[in-house]
A and B are shown apart, each in its own frame.
Chain A
Amino acid sequence: MKTYRQGDVLIRQVNEIPSQAKAKKNVGRIVLAYGEVTGHAHAIAEPQAKEFTMEQADNTVRRFLEVASGADVKHEEHATIQLPPGFYEIIQQREYTPEAIRNVAD
């Protein structure tokens, strides 16, 4: 099981896509993530690729990708990554936010 990383997006190979995940319609281009400032995108332009989403109990959404014949992940500022055929989970990088301060002495 290989993982690939392009900037702040990790693409992790998985054995299968969970059965609860729902397929999204492919409109010709699947955007894995948008850049925060530039509007650049990590994207796949592959008509056969399928994106799946699965809502979690904590309201976050896990995202999966099925690329039956492989796909290129492109981004304006990063080298293209070639994904072999298979199933993948798409994970976006996150940052730690500290808990609210308790018992602050004023």
Chain B
Amino acid sequence: MITQLTKKQEQRMQEVIQHWLSVGRSTQPIDREQATASITAMYRAIGKDAPAVLFFSSPMMCILAWGALRSAGVNRGQLRDQLRDQLGGQLGGQLGGQLGDQLRDQLRDQLWGQLRGQLRGQLGGQLGDQLRGQLRGQLGDQLNNYCGGSHWCAWEVFYDFCNEIGVNYTKDQRERLYLWMTQSQHCHWWFPYDGIVLVSERPTTLSVDDRGRLHSTETQAIGYSDGWGIHAVHGVRVDADIIENKASITVERIAKEQNAEVRRVMIELYGAPKYLLDSGAKIINHDQAGILYRKDILDDEAMVMVRVLNSTPEPDGVMMREEAIAVFGDAAKAAINAPEDARFKEYMIRVPPGMRTAHEAVAWTFGLDAEEYHPAIES
């Protein structure tokens, strides 16, 4: 019974995770020969002849191509479920008696869980949702018949790693596992039909944030050579023009947006302080520390920000002394004592929605209660 990993195996597990994350996030063209060989081997293993393997630029193009083939009279059965049922392999049963429950749970959590979450969840899931949103009717049904390739590698990588640390499988199981591992290594999304397989190329651009979520505020977060792809900010899918044409984000458009997550992205890209001022946020307090604004937002927590003036004049400041005094009043003490031609910078900081005064809000930004925050000197 294997109950714990050696130091070396722990390290090896991290390498395995990193390897498969990089395969799953790869933007390199696929090796078509290897991809064809790995899929053909799976077809043969379920007793089918070698299929015609056709390559397309993106998962979307695979589905559109299938629509075209079907219009031309090609009608073939979907094979995904058969591949999964016949080659799936009952490996779970082999772990009992060989692998301690605790270690099994640890590996499920760390290895399987991480690869599944980062690849199948963050990438595969987003692609599937995007396709489902854009396709209707029978073409949409093709999404019941795809294999996610490296995006779905977590299952086989988990069982392969168990094998590596000493869990034994039958020869037959080992061979099936090898088939899945090989296709994960070489394939992106593919759509298996009787006699025909449509294989998608990998994306040509892919960008994720530090939590592995699709993320780009400049361009597509995932994009294929044919132009199809997804715009997303921190894993929230948005319309292309929100990213590509930021001027299309207006206060009115933000107000109309029904999805609270998309609305947050729009506000972030518009600039939260600018949004607050442009959308007519309420001033809920104005004291010596600054001005506290509140904007109620449908289905989301209120946005509360404190607007303050920097205490030291700066040559590249955008606010003239007079203007600073006009806007900030009592909170412009630095400006009141400054020379006539002094320039200042202002800034806004978001604070928790429960803040009642600007002073309390500024104190919060330093982790203090209002009564604790009374700087003797500010510069």
Q: Do A and B bind each other?
A: yes
A residues within 8 Å of B by Cβ?
2-7, 10, 12, 75, 77-81, 91, 93-99, 101, 104-106
Chain B neighbourhood of A91, CB < 8 A = 366-368
In whole angstroms, how far apart are the Cα atoms of A94 and B378 in the complex? Answer: 17
Q: In the bound complex, how far is the Cα of B351 from the Cα of A3, in angstroms?
A: 21
Report whether B379 and A104 are in contact in the complex, using a CB–CB cutoff of 8 Å. no
Q: Which of A3, A7, A78, A106 contacts B373 (CB 8 A)?
A: A3
> Inside 8 A of B367's CB, which chain A residues have their CB?
91, 94
Binding site for A on B (CB under 8 A): 258-261, 264, 299-301, 304, 310-312, 314, 349-352, 364-368, 372-379
Which chain A residues border B312 with CB–CB below 8 Å?
A: 7, 77-79
Complex Cα spacing A88 to B260, Å: 42
Residue of B nearest to A83 (CB): B377
Query: How many Å from the CB of B234 to the closest CB on chain A?
Result: 10
Contact A4 B377 (CB under 8 A): yes
Bound form: Cα–Cα A81–B376 in Å = 10
Is the pair A4, B365 in contact by a Cβ cutoff of 8 Å? Answer: no
Q: List 20 A-B contacts (CB under 8 A).
A: A3-B372, A3-B375, A4-B375, A4-B377, A5-B377, A7-B311, A7-B379, A75-B379, A77-B314, A78-B312, A94-B365, A94-B366, A95-B351, A95-B365, A96-B304, A96-B349, A96-B350, A96-B352, A98-B264, A101-B300
Instruction: Provide the bound-state CA to CA distance between A4 and B378, in Å.
Output: 6
Using known A-B contacts A93-B349, A93-B365, A104-B260, determine if residue A2 contacts B379 with beta carbons closer than 8 Å.
no
Q: Are B376 and A93 in contact (CB under 8 A)?
A: no
Q: A93-B349, A98-B301 are in contact. Are A78 and B379 (CB under 8 A)?
A: yes
Q: Which of A3, A4, A7, A96 has its CB near the most chain B CB atoms (within 10 A)? A: A96
Contact A5 to B350, CB < 8 A, known contacts A10-B366, A101-B300: no
What residues of chain A lie closer than 8 Å to B310, measured between beta carbons?
7
Residues on the B chain within 8 Å of A2, using CB: 376
Give the complex CA separation of A69 and B317 in angstroms.
35
Q: A4: which of B350, B351, B376 is its contact (CB, 8 Å)?
A: B376
| Docked pose: A51 CA to B296 CA in angstroms | 43
List the A residue with the shortest CB-CB distance to B347: A8
Q: Is the CB of A101 within 8 A of B261?
A: yes
Chain A: CB-nearest residue to B312: A78
Closest CB in chain B relative to A68 CB, distance in Å:
20
Contact A101 B379 (CB under 8 A): no
Question: 8 closest Cβ contacts across the A-B interface?
Answer: A79-B379, A5-B375, A2-B376, A10-B366, A78-B379, A5-B378, A96-B350, A78-B312
Most central of B264, B368, B375 by chain A CB within 10 Å: B375
Does the CB pair A101–B376 fall under 8 Å? no
> Once bound together, how far apart are the Cα atoms of A7 and B377, in whole Å?
11
Partner among A81, A94, A95, A106 whose Cβ is within 8 Å of the Cβ of B377: A81
In chain B, what residue has the closest Cβ to A73?
B379
Q: Is B375 touching A10 in the complex (CB atoms < 8 A)?
A: yes
User: Which residues on A sit within 8 Å (CB–CB) of B376?
Assistant: 2-4
Closest chain-A Cβ to B313's Cβ sits at a distance in Å of 10
Distance in angstroms from A9 CB to nearest chain B CB is 9
Determine whether the beta carbon of A104 is less than 8 Å from that of B375: no
Please, which residue of chain B has its CB at the minimum distance from the CB of A103? B299
Structural contact, A5 and B365, CB atoms closer than 8 A:
no
Residues in A neighbouring B372, C-beta threshold 8 A: 3
Name the residue on B nearest A8 (C-beta): B365
A6 B379 Cβ-Cβ under 8 A: yes
Name the distance in Å between B177's Cβ and chain A's nearest Cβ. 36
- Cross-chain contact B349 with A104 (CB below 8 angstroms): no
Q: Do residues B379 and A80 form an inter-chain contact, with CB atoms below 8 A?
A: yes
